[in-house]
């Protein structure tokens, strides 16, 4: 397993998310937290033997205890969060782990633009930057609700809970280039291949220069975090 530095992760993610550098920043911090858990397991697996198109609002079409390792980064989009978490635990073998990469509602609400930027920018600002995201996070739990769901299951316990990011990173991500992503993409796609490469190279070099020092020094504090890696162990 290759462990990369934050700068190496950021450079790779920026190559893909170059028009949305806030996404590259967020994914860098997530990758750093997940590599010890998720990448170690992925090295043991032959991705992907089977892909199943499934609506997670419904019971998963897998037998009890079918999997050695279960991972999700989208549980909070499911309407009935508790039912889905219990289903993830159901399909995992006893003694194995379930990893949730997720946001928590009570922490996340602090970093919505309407709660820190509207006093300066006005109400329209947060409506444009939100772009309907909040409405799609239908099962987003609070920390208290998450603990209650896990405790009520009685078939698993929390093995670890690591904060990923919050504070300035959360504010950058909430606004970012999201409102401009469509016209920026149209503009980039209108360029010739050579011109696009030239623009992208210069763009990424500037972003790297702007963010490198911050990325290397950033330390998340649990009290300000809004995104977590939660590791559950099935009893």
- What's residue 132's pLDDT? 85
- What's residue 42's pLDDT? 54
Cβ contacts of 86 within 8 Å, gap of 6 or more:
149, 153
pLDDT band at 228 (very low <50, low <70, confident <90, very high): very high
How do residues 65-81 score in pLDDT, each as one tens digit? 999 999 999 898 898 99
Answer yes or no: is pLDDT of 50 > 90: no
Cβ contacts of 28 within 8 Å, gap of 6 or more:
6, 9, 10, 13, 215
pLDDT band at 40 (very low <50, low <70, confident <90, very high): low
pLDDT band at 17 (very low <50, low <70, confident <90, very high): very high
Q: In the β-sheet with 92-103, what is the strand arrangement from edge to edge?
A: 67-72, 92-103, 225-234, 156-166
Q: Which residue has the tokens 């050695």?
A: 68
For residues 86-113, average pLDDT = 93
Q: Pull the structure tokens for residue 227.
A: 């995104």
pTM value is 0.85
What is the domain partition of the chain in residue ranges? Answer: 6-234
Cβ contacts of 148 within 8 Å, gap of 6 or more:
none
Answer yes or no: is pLDDT of 223 > 80: yes
How do residues 166-209 score in pLDDT, each as one tens digit? 999 999 888 889 899 999 999 999 999 999 999 999 999 999 99
- What's residue 191's pLDDT? 97
For residues 84-100, average pLDDT = 96
- What's residue 45's pLDDT? 54
86 near 153, Cβ under 8 Å? yes
Provide the strand spans (E) within 127-180.
156-166
For residues 54-73, average pLDDT = 93
176 near 21, Cβ under 8 Å? yes
- What's residue 44's pLDDT? 55
For residues 13-42, average pLDDT = 84
- What's residue 118's pLDDT? 85
For residues 135-148, average pLDDT = 90
Other residues' Cβ atoms within 10 Å of the Cβ of residue 30:
19
CATH fold of the domain at 6-234: Rossmann fold (3.40.50)
């Amino acid at each position: 397993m290759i462990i990369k530095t934050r700068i190496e992760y950021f450079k790779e993610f920026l190559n893909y998310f170059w028009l949305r550098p806030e996404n590259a920043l967020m994914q860098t911090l997530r990758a750093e937290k997940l590599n010890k858990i998720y990448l170690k397991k992925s090295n043991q697996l032959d991705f992907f033997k089977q892909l199943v198109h499934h609506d997670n609002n419904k019971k998963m079409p897998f037998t009890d205890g079918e999997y050695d390792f279960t991972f999700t980064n989208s549980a909070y989009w499911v309407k009935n969060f508790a039912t889905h978490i219990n289903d993830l635990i159901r399909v995992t073998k006893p003694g194995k782990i379930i990893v949730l990469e997720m946001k928590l509602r009570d922490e996340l609400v602090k970093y919505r633009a309407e709660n820190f930027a509207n006093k300066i920018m006005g109400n329209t600002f947060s409506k444009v930057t939100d772009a309907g995201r909040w409405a799609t996070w239908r099962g987003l739990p609070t920390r208290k609700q998450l603990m209650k769901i896990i405790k009520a299951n009685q078939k698993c316990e929390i093995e670890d809970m690591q904060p990923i990011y919050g504070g300035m990173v959360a504010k950058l991500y909430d606004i970012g280039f999201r409102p401009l992503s469509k016209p920026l993409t149209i503009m980039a796609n209108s360029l010739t291949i050579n011109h696009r490469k030239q623009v992208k190279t210069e763009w990424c070099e500037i972003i790297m220069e702007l963010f490198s020092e911050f990325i290397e020094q950033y330390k998340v504090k649990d009290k300000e975090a809004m995104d977590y890696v939660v590791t559950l162990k099935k009893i």
